[in-house]
């Protein structure tokens, strides 16, 4: 299986048009493409930059000419879970007619959409990408080719992967940016290529604050990693 991570700009997508005009982002939770009806039914999380931005974004989404149905399932502050049905876009039609399929959730923000698309062989992939170029703007950000063994391993250990992902998501913005800066600047290299003092100067905080942010981030990531390793070991003994 060939798995592509595509940064997409469609010119007939209601979600992309809405995020172009309003400070709102969408993340797919569930989706169902009906090729006979030429429509896509989705459940999404909509997150606005504010309550007003969320309301404005949903209003614009409902008024889009390619939107068939848009309703709110739940709403709290600037976040809502919504259900939608849209007309099949050119890109969706192109992927489907060239043997492609969606392999993961898609995210839409700032007029761009992140797609995860799979193909069974190189020829289908080449034809689909060539057709996409005619009516869409896109960049292939990543490409993986997975054999049956790798796919089985991925599916078998999906719970471990989800646990590790949740551990990373539990990082606060400060913990994440501090952790990233430390890694990129060689703090964890031997010998170290940066110091706590240099990191503190980069964030304009004290050396103690940087150390505490790193330790909190390390604890969260290591706890998730150890839990994932335990799950892998349990799977081996079954």
What was the pLDDT predicted at 234? 65
Tokens of 62: 């409902």
d(CA 231, CA 163): 10
Instruction: Determine the structural domain holding residue 48 and report its residue range.
Output: 2-145
Tokens of 43: 């459940």
Asked if residue 138 belongs to a domain, the reply is yes
Question: Based on the domain organization, do 23 and 126 belong to the same domain?
Answer: yes
What was the pLDDT predicted at 160? 66
CATH of residue 199's domain is 1.10.10.10
Vertex 119: Cα angle to 115 and 125 (nearest 5):
90
Asked if residue 180 belongs to a domain, the reply is yes
Question: Based on the domain organization, do 93 and 185 belong to the same domain?
Answer: no
Question: Based on the domain organization, do 38 and 69 belong to the same domain?
Answer: yes
- Per residue in 138-155, pLDDT (tens digit) is 999 988 876 555 445 555
In this structure, the number of other CB atoms found within 10 A of the CB of residue 154 comes to 11
DSSP code for 194: S
Question: Based on the domain organization, do 140 and 188 belong to the same domain?
Answer: no
Tokens of 222: 């290591």
Question: Based on the domain organization, do 135 and 167 belong to the same domain?
Answer: no
Question: Based on the domain organization, do 166 and 127 belong to the same domain?
Answer: no
Asked if residue 22 belongs to a domain, the reply is yes
Asked if residue 94 belongs to a domain, the reply is yes
Question: Based on the domain organization, do 140 and 178 belong to the same domain?
Answer: no
- The count of structural domains within the chain is 2
Asked if residue 58 belongs to a domain, the reply is yes
Q: Can you point out the beta strands (E) in the chain?
A: 2-9, 24-34, 39-48, 67-76, 79-87, 101-102, 107-109, 112-119, 137-145
- DSSP bridge partners of 107: 27, 114
Asked if residue 152 belongs to a domain, the reply is no
Question: Based on the domain organization, do 139 and 42 belong to the same domain?
Answer: yes
Question: Based on the domain organization, do 12 and 123 belong to the same domain?
Answer: yes
Question: Based on the domain organization, do 15 and 41 belong to the same domain?
Answer: yes
Question: Based on the domain organization, do 88 and 198 belong to the same domain?
Answer: no
Asked if residue 179 belongs to a domain, the reply is yes
Cis peptide before 191 (omega within 30 of 0): yes
Low-confidence ranges of the chain (pLDDT < 70): 146-161, 231-238
Question: Based on the domain organization, do 19 and 132 belong to the same domain?
Answer: yes
Choosing from 97, 124, 145, the residue where a domain stops is: 145
Asked if residue 66 belongs to a domain, the reply is yes
């Amino acid at each position: 299986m060939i798995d592509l991570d595509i940064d997409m700009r469609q010119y007939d997508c209601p979600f992309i048009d809405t995020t172009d005009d309003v400070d709102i982002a969408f993340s797919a939770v569930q989706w169902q493409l009906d090729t006979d009806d030429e429509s896509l039914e989705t459940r999404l999380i909509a997150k606005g930059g504010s309550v007003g931005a969320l309301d404005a974004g949903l209003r614009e989404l409902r008024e889009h000419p390619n939107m068939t149905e848009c309703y709110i399932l739940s709403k709290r502050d600037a976040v809502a879970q919504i259900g939608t049905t849209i007309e099949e876009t050119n890109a969706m039609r192109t992927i489907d007619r060239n043997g492609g399929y969606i392999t993961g959730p898609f995210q839409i923000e700032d007029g761009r959409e992140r797609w995860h698309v799979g193909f069974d062989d190189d020829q289908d992939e080449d034809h689909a990408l060539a057709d996409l170029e005619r009516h869409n703007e896109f960049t292939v950000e990543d490409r993986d080719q997975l054999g049956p063994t790798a796919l089985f391993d991925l599916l078998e250990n999906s719970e471990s992967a989800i646990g590790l992902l949740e551990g990373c998501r539990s990082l606060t913005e400060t913990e994440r940016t501090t952790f990233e800066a430390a890694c990129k600047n060689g703090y964890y290299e031997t010998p170290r290529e940066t110091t706590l003092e240099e990191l503190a100067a980069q964030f304009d905080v004290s050396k103690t604050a940087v150390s505490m942010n790193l330790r909190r981030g390390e604890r969260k990531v290591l706890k998730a990693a150890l839990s994932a390793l335990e799950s892998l070991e349990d799977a081996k003994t079954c």
